[in-house]
Amino acid sequence: MAKKKKLLRSLAGEVLDVPPVWLMRQAGRYLPEYRATRAQAGDFLSLCFNPELAAEVTLQPIRRYGFDGSILFADILLIPQALGADLWFVTGEGPRLSTITEASDMARLKGKDDIHDHLAPIYETVKILAQDLPKDTTLIGFAGAPWTVATYMIAGRGTPDQAPAHRLREAEPETFAALIDLITEATIEYLDMQVKAGAEVVKLFDSWAGSLKGDAFDRFAVAPTKRIISELKSRHPDVPIIAFPREAGDKYIGFAREVGADCLAIDTSVDTSWAVQNLQVDGCVQGNLDPKLMVTGGDALKSEARRICEAFKGGPHIFNLGHGITPDADPENVHHLLEAIRG
Ligand code: CP3
């Protein structure tokens, strides 16, 4: 039998001398080869829906750096688009979508089983990657968690405080709950298809979980994530799941256990010794280097990377950033980071 891949060993709870490593947004604008392929595709969305080119940009950071994990190149906003929302990206600004402000906007969306024609190219990308990745690299599929996806669908763009989504949640609780349910159900089918196409791990990005407080966190960050994981586990019991309720603060405690995730990804704000005591006791932790260090580099990058490895070495750990690598990062700093981690 082939030796189990390093990333899968950590996800199974093994404690390794050197943690597996990959970076959020590892395929992206900081790499000149990514910018060239995106130009060849035309724009970001055309790149997402071109399986050959999307597989190519997914493989670029693997060739350059030899990461242990390879995350599918796509976006969390492809689900809203597959459900019938308009989606476009404004260069230098970010995503724009048609908005959801009342029940009649919901009525225009498609059903959870109507997404696959639109998303077929994404499944094709996963199939290509399952073939073409090096045999010791783990293929990670992903989706946005329902709350985070809903914040974009409601506001029609990224918002600093997710105010439009909070307003709809309070003013029109039934419309809001129906939207969360639809995204939850579509996400289950989407991730099911990614796994069938060859994804070995899936990650749920709840980038705006931190803006949900108290009971709302339980209802809209915990519950939908728990429902997705429990359904995926019933269909694919052996596929590990990473949850990322970004900026959840104290709510990180017990989150992985509660939702049934195999690994908890943590953001930059989380203190490592606190995470060891309160989070790693439940299993694998992924994180949490500050992405700014990928821009500034130097000894600070190396010593901070070593400090994080040292802090988490008593339990299962996957090395990653606390959020995505930014376009102004220096590609050479990734080599320096890997040297610091792998020696
Ligand atoms: O390498 C990888 O990480 C895989 C691909 C990936 C992308 N987006 C590609 C992308 C993943 C996993 C995502 C997740 C994603 N997308 C999240 C959750 C993680 C997070 O960052 O909090 C969110 C909130 C989105 C939505 C989104 N997509 C925004 C807000 C933006 C604009 C901001 C930005 O960083 O540009 C995007 C665009 C996007 N998604 C790019 C990439 C490589 C840049 C687009 C470009 O090339 O012009």
Pairing outcome for strands 94-97 and 87-90: antiparallel
Atom of ligand 1 nearest to the CA of 77: 26
- Mean pLDDT (whole number) for 295-316: 98
CATH architecture of the domain with residue range 4-342: Alpha-Beta Barrel (3.20)
Tens-place pLDDT, residues 179-229: 999 999 999 999 999 999 999 999 999 999 999 999 999 999 999 999 999
- Nearest protein Cα to ligand 1, atom 2: 25
Domain chopping of the chain, boundaries: 4-342
Alpha carbons 38 and 54: distance in angstroms, whole number: 9
pLDDT for residue 283 = 98
Q: Where in the sequence numbering do the catalytic residues fall?
A: 25, 29, 38, 75, 152
332 CA → ligand 1 middle, Å:
22
pTM reported for the whole predicted model:
0.97
Q: Which of 22, 23, 24, 25 to mutate to test the pocket of ligand 1 (most atoms within 8 A of CB)?
A: 25
Atom of ligand 1 nearest to the CA of 144: 18
95 CA → ligand 1 middle, Å:
9
Is residue 2 very low, low, confident or very high in pLDDT (cuts 50, 70, 90)? low
Is residue 161 very low, low, confident or very high in pLDDT (cuts 50, 70, 90)? very high
187 CA → ligand 1 middle, Å:
17
Give the C-alpha distances (Å, rounded to integers) separating 333 from 75, 303, 317, 320, 337.
25, 13, 21, 14, 6
- Nearest protein Cα to ligand 1, atom 33: 94
231 CA → ligand 1 middle, Å:
26
